[in-house]
Amino acid sequence: MAATIEMARQYLGIDVDDDEMINANLSRALAAAHALMLGAVGDDIETLLPGDPRIDELQLALTADLYGNRSTSAKAGTAEARYIHSLEQQLRLDHSRLKREAEE
């Protein structure tokens, strides 16, 4: 299951749901985060680990980073970057293991 715009709003603490600019920025960040996640972890991760909450969490964390750092002067926090890297690494390792198991 891919994260939804409603999940992203809740994750970011945005309680306005009818602002077109916010919705456009969130939709763009959510789509980019999904593509980044699949590129970093593997494009079949959602099939190999269906329902794994780390998948949505990684997409939401990436979305928050992209949404919160829309300008070129913004910098991601070190703790947030480590968190995102850790989620990516965990999912990448599980993805590799499941692909190997499927090939055996």
Checking if the pLDDT of 23 tops 70, the result is yes
Q: What angle do CA 25, 27, 28 make, to 5 degrees?
A: 65
Checking if the pLDDT of 90 tops 80, the result is yes
Which residues constitute the domain of residue 49?
Answer: 5-103
Q: What pLDDT sits at residue 50?
A: 92
Q: pLDDT by residue (tens digit) across 33-67? A: 998 888 888 889 899 999 999 999 999 999 998 88
Strands (E), the chain: none
Q: Which residue, chain included where needed, has tokens 């910098």?
A: 75
CB 95 within 8 A of CB 48: yes
Task: Between 69 and 56, name the one with better pLDDT.
Answer: 56
Number of domains in the chain: 1
Task: Between 60 and 76, name the one with better pLDDT.
Answer: 60
Number of alpha carbons in the 13 Å side-chain half-sphere of residue 42: 18
DSSP 49: S
Q: pLDDT by residue (tens digit) across 3-18? A: 999 999 999 999 987 8
Which candidate, 66, 52, 53, 58, places its Cα nearest to that of 85? 58
Q: What pLDDT sits at residue 40?
A: 85
CA distance 72 to 83: 21
DSSP 13: T
